[in-house]
Each structure stands twice: as C-alpha cells, then as structure tokens.
Amino acid sequence: MAESDPQITVIAADTHIRGEMTFDRTARVFGKFDGKVSAKGELQVAEGAACSAEVEAAKVTIDGAIEGDVTAQDRIQLNAKGRIKGDIKAAKLVVAEGASLFGHCAVGPNAASAAAEKPEIKTMPQQSKQPDTTRK
C-alpha cells in the first residue's frame, strides 16, 4: 500500500464502524467496516481487515476482504491474500496469484462509467425434451 500520502484516514484493527464513509484522499481499513464507501481517493483494505460494503472509489487496494459490489474509476488491485465476494467494475484490474474473486467482472475504460447499464443476456431457445416415439 502506498505510504506517500501524508493525509490518510485510518480505521484501526480494534475498530468496527457501521455507516457511510466518504473521503477525498486515502482511507486505510485495518478493522471492520459495514455500510457504504463513496470516495474520490483510494480505499485500502489491509490484511485481516473486513468490509461488508458497497464501495465506489477512484482506486481500491485489497489485502483483506470485501463483501459487496466494488466500483473503481481507475483501478482495483487484489493482492495475494485479498478476497472479494461481489461484482466489480473498474477501468483496470490487477489480480495477484492466490487472490479470490467471487462475482461478475466488468473491466475496461468504460466499465465504471457504464455501471448502471446491464448488458442484455441472450439465451438459446430450449429444445423439446420429450423422447422420440416414432418408429422407423
């Protein structure tokens, strides 16, 4: 996780917060957060941390766990011990070996901005499952 930003919001390992979190720069979660995250900056979820939240941020770096949908305007980085259970949308996706992702992915330059649009899924016509009773 980046160390260069002097203004970082930290949720400590012994802290559990429920609600809505908004921030402009960087927030680092070492504890637990339940709710919704809306950020202009980067959300960092440390190893051992857990978020049960809908997340919208510019960047999201995960070493811990997120349960909920994640949308990043720039990048989602899922490190080796990171886990996501939910759908993700991002311009860029980095997944390290060992990471876990359970959900649908939309990745590309327009993925985050097209988050509200859902593609139409076409299905194949069903064939009759009745046995052929004609004799030859």
Tokens 């921030």 appear where? 23
Whole-number mean pLDDT of the chain?
Answer: 87
When comparing pLDDT for 118 and 8, which is higher?
Answer: 8
Using pLDDT thresholds of 50, 70 and 90, give the confidence band for residue 7: confident
At 111 the pLDDT is 84
The tokens describing 10, both together, are 């930290």
CA distances 44 to 48, 54, 111, 112, 128, Å, are: 12, 14, 21, 18, 52
User: What average pLDDT score do residues 14-24 get?
Assistant: 95
Where helices occur in 32-82 by DSSP H, the ranges are none
Considering only 1-15, 89-103, 117-131, which range has the smallest mean pLDDT? 117-131
Single-letter code of the amino acid located at 79: N
Single-letter code of the amino acid located at 41: G
Q: Is the confidence at residue 127, as pLDDT, over 60?
A: no
User: What average pLDDT score do residues 32-44 get?
Assistant: 96
Where helices occur in 1-136 by DSSP H, the ranges are none
CA distances 110 to 60, 92, 117, Å, are: 17, 10, 11
pLDDT tens across 63-122, in order? Answer: 999 999 999 999 999 999 999 999 999 999 999 999 999 999 999 988 877 655 555 544
